[in-house]
Amino acid sequence: MTQALVIGAGPAGLMAAEMLAQAGLSVTVADAKPSPARKFLMAGKSGLNLTKSEPLATFLNQIDGPDLLRDIVAGFGPEAVQDWARELGQDVFTGSSGRVFPVAMKASPLLRAWLARLDHLGVVLRRNWRWTGIKDREMAFQTPEGAEVLTPCVTVLALGGGSWSRLGSDGKWVSILAESGVACVPFQPSNMGFRVDWTAHMSRHFGSPIKPARLQAGGESVVGEFVVSSRGIEGSAVYAVSRATRDGAPLTVDLTPDRSVEDVTARLAKPRGKSSITNHLRKSLKLDPAKIALLQEFTRPLPHDPATLAALIKALPIRHQGPRPIDEAISTAGGLSFDALDAGLMIKALPGVFAAGEMLDWDAPTGGYLLTTCLATGRHAGQAAARWARDHAPEARR
């Protein structure tokens, strides 16, 4: 009999497997894909942002979830994540924004070291094993060899959210849990771009960054950059305010975040002679063609009154058609409600079955918050599952 089963080989699942193995249980990890941690590897292609170096209280305030979740993250926060990476032989550094990266930057060296450690602990990885159902303690899978059923003492589900289905996070597990009477909160996209139906004149600016800029939505405000694409707007600054924008707050952009409205007004009030208004914007405010095009896109015709134009430059309303499709989102909100879980992240309706990672109903911005929370919940669920196995199945020992 398999003592401990983890379904899902992303960061949360691998961390749960490590905790279970360290507690002395034999552990099998089943993943639907041919290789583990595919979304983790994709996230690290341009630099693996492990966590954010900032005061713990500041870090926790970025996580939208119940107090239980913040307590779990506090137990394995930014400092602990950095120590964990170093223990795997991956030195880290902190960038100017406070984001923490491995010195190697990529995710693959860390993942290789992690998998080697799990292998040393005796963890068995089953690839191309898709979870198809649960009945009592029996876990059914479709595998390359056909249907398989495992009957573990304890199970940790770490099946991801509802975005990037090609990497394994397809949300199909929702229907399996529903058959057991466990309802989930509908998924919503998070850390995503927004659709904009551009007019033809914007096509020459597709791919252009808008920087620096201040994006504001609701009570959220961030200075950074975003990109104008054929599909709309996307990029780190957009993701930072995407939660409020998704929930209906108007989105505005300040095209001159380093200047006051008074300074902008004064510069625009200077005589422009025979210069066109676009040339005047370029010369007086150093606005690049993409910023000027964005201003014209949402304000036609441009007002000639300096004060009116300055007010638009400092708070230009962005008309959009809602979030990009959920499968394109970096992460998702929604999923398994914390009301369905106990303090150890065990599903109340399914004794001995725990859950962790993005499949839980929480939200956070990019910048290390997502990965840290997945690691922390995987650690917490794995430790709680090991305790449950010892208390309820004494035979679950090596």
Strand bridging mode 209-217 / 154-157 = unpaired
pTM of this structure: 0.94
For residues 120 and 124, give the distance between their C-alpha atoms in angstroms, rounded to a whole number.
10
What are the two backbone dihedrals, phi and then psi, of residue 74, each rounded to the nearest 5 degrees? -60, -30
> Would you call 85 helix, strand, or coil by DSSP?
helix
What does residue 81 show for φ and ψ, rounded to 5 degrees?
-65, -40
Residue 2: per-residue pLDDT = 64
Torsion of CA 5, 11, 12, 14, to 10 degrees: 30
Whether residue 102 is preceded by a cis peptide bond, meaning omega within 30 degrees of 0, is: no
What's residue 368's pLDDT? 96
* CA separation for the pair 272, 31 (Å, rounded): 65
Question: 30: closest CA among 162, 220, 168, 136?
Answer: 168
Give tens-digit pLDDT for 57-72. 999 999 999 999 999 9
Regions of the chain where pLDDT drops below 50? 1, 396-398
* Nearest-5° Cα angle at 155, 154 to 159: 170
- The pLDDT assigned to 98 comes to 96
138 CA to centre of own chain: 31
Per-residue pLDDT tens for 265-309? 999 999 988 889 999 999 999 999 999 999 999 998 999 999 999
Q: What is the pLDDT of residue 394?
A: 57
Which distant-in-sequence residues (6+ apart) come within 8 Å of 36 by Cβ?
Answer: 9, 10, 14, 29, 111, 115, 125, 127
What is the model's pLDDT at position 1?
47
Structural domains of the chain, with CATH: 4-189+325-392 (3.50.50.60), 194-317 (no CATH)
Residue from 252, 284, 282 nearest 265 by CA: 284
Q: What angle do CA 358, 243, 65 make, to 5 degrees?
A: 45
Q: Which pLDDT does position 104 carry in this prediction?
A: 95
